[in-house]
Structure 1
Amino acid sequence: MQKLAIRLTNYVVYKGVVKEEERKVYEYGFQTGLEVSLSFLISIVIAALGHMLLEGLLFLAIFIPLRSYAGGMHLEHYSYCLILSNLTYAGILLIVKLIAVPMLFSILLLSVFIAAVWVMYPVKHMNRPIDRGEEIYFKKQLKRFLLADAALAIVFLILKSDKYLLLMMVTFFLMVITMLVGKYKELRE
């Protein structure tokens, strides 16, 4: 991805769209955009192959904001992250497809995991330090998303959608695991 990002940056610098002094910013932006796009594309393909596109999109709609605002585990290389993320994603979709869990069990564990995410916030990483203002903003956003997720869980409970409640519960379980690993790494550093 880095090589492609450099080539794209070289092209926009050559065309005069970007100044040479902005090179590093554009290389980073292109690389990040390419990595996120590839991850999203693979996720959609996995969900489509499993005939679980709606479930896959619901997972992403819940997990991405949580991960963005609460923090969690970071791997050292993008390729490791891509592989682990997509294996985990496929595993979660497989669990939801093959396992039936009573709604009460899902809602109980989901409640515990939502509380755990709130209590464990923030998970910091040395490569992305946040100042006090960002921390306050992130916590406010996290609270909004947690309340929205809780409301969505109530809707699924009313609709007796045990599959979507299970998906939410397993997604939050994954979030708690990544936060615990992130906290452990934070303490070690």
Structure 2
Amino acid sequence: MVEKIVGHIIDCQIDSGRIKQDEIGVYQYGYTLILERGINIAIVIILCLITSRWLEIWGFLIMTIPLRSYAGGWHADKFWHCAIISNLIVILMLLVISNISIYSKLVYIGIEMIVLSVILLMAPVQNINKPLTLKEKKVYTRKTICIWIIECCLMSVFVIYRQYTYSLIILFAHSIVIIAVLVGKIEEKMKKATN
């Protein structure tokens, strides 16, 4: 569906002379990205309206997206798979924070040490569509670690002030990112083995 809409937009722009044939790929990528992000934002807004958990949902996304962007990991092969999985993860996060409470600082520290270990050993995980140079890998690793440190500091503040819902959101976000990194690394190794 997204491809058809983007194709129609590009055809209209080619017919009107706004874009050239050699620019089609760039415009196709850009329009696809804009449309997919727009659909995801619309779905998130609908979830916020249904659940009235605006702060929790946007907080989770703000903690997840930057870390996931630099750590890399598994990517769905189709947009609608990504949209369904992403929004199911948001719903799962809401269920977790509604039904689980973690008060122990040792649990937070233990889980975050696992997260840091995975980041140091495996991140960033490349995507087939976006291979990284050695220099880019170093930059992505540094940015991943910096984002993780900032988010851990924020989580520590929430724990100190006993705002456990928000500290759990960050912990859940980190867990999801690390699962994506692990699955992405496994997928990367399997593809290398078959080639």
What is the TM-score with the length of structure 2 in the denominator? 0.88
Q: Does 1:124 align with 2:107?
A: no
Higher mean displacement: 151-160 or 111-120? 111-120
Relative distance call for 1:162 and 1:15 in structure 2 (3 A) is same
Q: Is the 8 A contact 2:56 2:166 kept in 1?
A: yes
Relative distance call for 1:72 and 1:26 in structure 2 (3 A) is same
- Helix, strand or coil at the partner of 1:18: coil
Q: State the Cα distance separating 1:105 from its structure 2 match.
A: 5.3
Residue identity opposite 1:151 in structure 2: C
CA RMSD of aligned residues (A): 1.7
Alignment of 1:58-77 (within 5 A): 58-77=59-78
Residue identity opposite 2:103 in structure 1: P
Q: Quick one: distance in 2 between partners of 1:12 and 1:113? A: 49
- Helix, strand or coil at the partner of 2:147: helix
Structure 1 residue ranges, 4+ long, deviating more than 6 angstroms after superposition: none
Q: Per-residue CA shift, 1:152-177, capped at 9, x if unaligned?
A: 11221222101011111111111111
Q: Quick one: distance in 1 between partners of 2:91 and 2:28? A: 30
Q: Is the 8 A contact 2:119 2:178 kept in 1?
A: no
Q: State the Cα distance separating 1:181 from its structure 2 match.
A: 0.7
- Helix, strand or coil at the partner of 2:18: coil
Relative distance call for 1:112 and 1:47 in structure 2 (3 A) is farther
Q: Is the 8 A contact 1:63 1:175 kept in 2?
A: yes
User: What corresponds to 1:14 in structure 2?
Assistant: 15
Alignment of 1:135-174 (within 5 A): 135-174=137-176
- Helix, strand or coil at the partner of 1:58: helix
Q: Quick one: distance in 2 between partners of 1:108 and 1:47? A: 30
Give % identity. Answer: 28
Residue identity opposite 1:31 in structure 2: T
What is the TM-score with the length of structure 1 in the denominator? 0.91
Q: State the Cα distance separating 1:24 from its structure 2 match.
A: 1.8
Q: Quick one: distance in 1 between partners of 2:9 and 2:66? A: 28
Structure 1: unaligned runs, 5 residues or longer: none
Q: Is the 8 A contact 1:103 1:162 kept in 2?
A: no
